[in-house]
Amino acid sequence: MKFKLEYTDNASDARAGTITTAHGEIKTPIFMPVGTCGAVKGVHFSELREQVKAQIILGNTYHLYLRPGLDILRKAGGLHGFNGWERPILTDSGGFQVFSLTGIRKLKEEGCTFQSHIDGSRHIFTPENVMDTERIIGADIMMAFDECAPGEADFEYAKKSMQMTHRWLDRCLKRFNETEPLYGYEQTLMPIVQGCKYPELRRESAKFIADKGADANAIGGLAVGEPTEIMYEMIEVVNEILPKDKPRYLMGVGTPQNILEAIERGVDMFDCVMPTRNGRNAMLFTYEGTMNMKNKKWEDDFSPIDPDGCDVDRIYTKAYLHHLFKAQELLAMQIASIHNLAFYLRLVTDAREHIIKGDFTQWKNSVIYNLGLRR
């Protein structure tokens, strides 16, 4: 993987660049739709390509390991061969999902034992077998196995968790370097900065990760319950240390406002389930705020969903989408998911254009208030 930093904003740390992978280029800043089980919920790949304009999607190691399983993925030639997505893929290590299984997982130095949420069967994830699993999945970018501490964790827990994440990273790197890609193209391993809400831990973790010299670096353990202001502070602390010539990925974030604030602080890559999850619940993100399509106010509004949006935004009216949600038609969730994903990609594309123009901060300040409105 290569990264070329091409532009920086005049008044902030916002940047624009190009990531090159075996499956194509990614223009940053970028939002990555989440395809947990190898599919982005309710959206065809043709729509992802042509309307959403997704440049990269995510898969999840935990879910793909359980279903369809590694044998099927290996026989298919990896996730690209299995689902037919020809552009870049990033895989989460499954750490966040495993550690979310409160009551049915046990954490120790070796790794994490857990019960499947599907059938209760017992499994173990270690840094080594997660690397093997991500090799089989075949993503262009593989995430290191880490522990995502709860947002409310006290200092001692957060410190011990971070230190174990660092030890696990060393084991991930060793296994990664001992193994070869399985499908004839290069893969990249991305480490993750942890440290919860504590600046001194974040600095220590960022320094540890930066010293590994990876092709890209991630910031994890944010947007997990801490106040938004703390999240922004931790991004600033970490990005003072992470190398400027490598992409920075803020995991699991977030709202449109979160994304613009993080871009301003030097983040390049984002993912979040919010566009599709909120879309399925009739919440549409726009530059004029979030629309609840179940509200009666849209019942006789025959204007397009978003005249500046993608195809479904111009084809369908607010009244029609309101009707579909009231009638519980599956098409409602599909339209809303496509709209939201397309809007998120439009948001980061617009941000990139303003970074190139050199007026990102002025533009961001002009749109960020309306993004937070409820309509």
Q: Which residues are catalytic?
A: 92, 271
What backbone phi and psi angles, to 5 degrees, belong to 17? Answer: -155, -170
Q: Collapsing DSSP states into helix, strand and coil, what is residue 234? A: helix
Longest CA span, the chain: 62
Beta carbons of 347 and 360 less than 8 angstroms apart: no
- Edge-first strand order for the sheet with 57-60 is 57-60, 89-92, 141-143, 188-190
Beta carbons of 35 and 139 less than 8 angstroms apart: no
Distances (CA, A) of 80 to 87, 130, 198, 315, 325: 8, 18, 38, 31, 33
CA 225/CA 33 separation, integer angstroms: 22
Residue 67, class by beta-carbon neighbours within 10 Å (0-12 exposed, 13-18 middle, 19+ buried)? exposed
Q: Collapsing DSSP states into helix, strand and coil, what is residue 106? A: strand
Distances (CA, A) of 304 to 79, 291, 312, 325, 329: 36, 13, 9, 16, 19
Distances (CA, A) of 274 to 244, 247, 263, 334, 371: 28, 22, 18, 14, 14
| Spacing of C-alpha 98 from chain mean position | 17
At 147, list the tokens: 């522990």
Q: 12-45: string of b/e by CB count within 10 Å (b at 16+)?
A: ebbbbbebebbbeebebbbbbbbbbebebbbbeb
Q: Collapsing DSSP states into helix, strand and coil, what is residue 243? A: coil
